[in-house]
Chains A and B, each alone.
Chain A
Amino acid sequence: MALKKIDDLSDFQVDTLRELGNIGSGNAATSLSGLVGSEVMINIPKVRILDFEEAVNFLGGPERVIAGLLIRMDGDIKGMILYAFGEDFSQEIVGQFFGKEIGSLLELDEMDQSALSEIGNIMAGSYVGALSAMTGLTIHITPPCLCIDMAGAVLSVPAIEFAKAGDKVLMIDDSFGLGGVTVKSNMILIPELESLEILFNRLGVV
């Protein structure tokens, strides 16, 4: 049956996405570890299918300031990725990367912002790389575009894009442990429905 909406995914299909999320997160933790030069522990990621308002509340509510990196996927799989994180992630990761104290998200200078974009690029690349390696599908990603603002406003961009396919987004919720601190980030995937079908067909999941 052709997929019409993201809510039509079967439990088995959701489990498959969850497993892909696990592998992607493992890759991302390895990349992160290389970036900050210390050990990174990863907890088992949670894959959630949420509607827009639930996703915004999950990120701390509509007015909570977050950083979002928007990346477009092209090739066999088309769609968008929004890599979202809060102040804790930016302070720990960019702080360790540059070896300096990082202020609030709204006070980041150009260097910090460009480091965040690069980190997002590497993280998204790790997920997409895992997906590509497991399926043999070709997926290109564009350089990320950073936006630091209220969560509701940042998420409105993929939500609008997604309004065509329903109200739900796929959210992979990661928490990484580094140097005794736990930081969280969220990979929000918005594949085109045709691309999800290609993905499931390739994996033999119907």
Chain B
Amino acid sequence: MAEIITVGISDLNIARSPDILATYALGSCVGIALKDVKTGIGGLAHIMLPWSKEANTATAINPKRYADTGIRSLLALMKQNGASTAITAKIAGGAQMFQTTFHSFNIGQRNVDAVKTVLGELRIPIQAEDTGANYGRTVFFHVDTGVLEVKTASKTAKVL
């Protein structure tokens, strides 16, 4: 029986076949699903913000919250558990939930851009993405097949 392992906001986890990694209601946040094609280890991170260096240093930094440190932490965890370097990525999220210019920065787009930059630096190819637009997404990452299932409140589910 496949078990569903939930990844919270600003969190990450890994799993092996046949388990499923899930994260619920990504808004402007981005879900990054990594799969090691050799060993079948899968990982999922749910990041909130683009760059850890932009954090307010008054509060302790949670590395899982940022695209740069979050993706690197996920990759490190996968490698500690025996993952190879043959890793591919699928990403979803980064919506602009409110159609307004007043929150000065489109954080969803900035998150997507940061995720792509970091994956590029790590030479991890992005196989598929469902990002942007203006709706929330729940994702299920099927570690066995590498399928990323994207569900929304009002649209038909997508399979990446």
Contacts and interface: CB of A to CB of B under 8 A. Distances in A.
Interface residues of B, number: 31
B138 interface: yes
Interface stretch (A24-32, A36-44, A127-135, A143-151): A143-151
A150 B24 CA distance: 9
A187 B107 CA distance: 23
Interface of A is mostly: mixed
A89 interface: no
A46 interface: no
Interface of B is mostly: loop
B24 A165 contact: no
Interface residues of A, number: 32
Contact of B97 (A56, A80, A157, A166): A157
Contacts of B58: 4-5
A153 B102 contact: no
B48 A160 contact: yes
A153 B102 CA distance: 18
Nearest to B8: A53
A194 interface: no
Contact of B98 (A106, A145, A151, A166): A145
Interface string A139-171: 000100111011111111101110111100000
A147 B29 contact: no
Given A106-B153, A159-B48, A149 B27 contact: yes
A152 B27 contact: yes
A156 B28 contact: yes
Contacts of B138: 62-63, 150
A52 interface: yes
Contacts of A53: 8-9
A72 interface: yes
A52 B62 CA distance: 14
A5 B28 contact: no
Interface of B: 8-9, 24-29, 48-49, 55-56, 58-59, 65, 95, 97-100, 102-103, 107, 134-138, 152-154
Give the 8 A-B residue pairs with the shortest CB-CB distance, closest first.
A153-B136, A152-B25, A153-B27, A156-B27, A62-B24, A62-B25, A150-B25, A150-B136
Interface of A: 4-5, 52-53, 56, 62-63, 65, 70, 72, 80, 106, 142, 145-147, 149-157, 159-161, 163-166
Given A63-B138, A157-B107, A164-B55, 16 more contacts: A53-B8, A56-B25, A65-B153, A70-B103, A150-B152, A152-B26, A152-B27, A153-B95, A153-B137, A156-B27, A156-B28, A160-B29, A160-B49, A163-B49, A163-B65, A165-B59
30 contacts: A5-B58, A52-B9, A53-B8, A53-B9, A70-B103, A80-B103, A106-B153, A142-B102, A145-B98, A145-B99, A145-B100, A145-B102, A147-B134, A149-B27, A149-B135, A149-B136, A149-B153, A150-B24, A150-B136, A152-B136, A154-B27, A154-B97, A154-B136, A156-B27, A156-B29, A157-B97, A163-B65, A164-B55, A164-B56, A165-B59
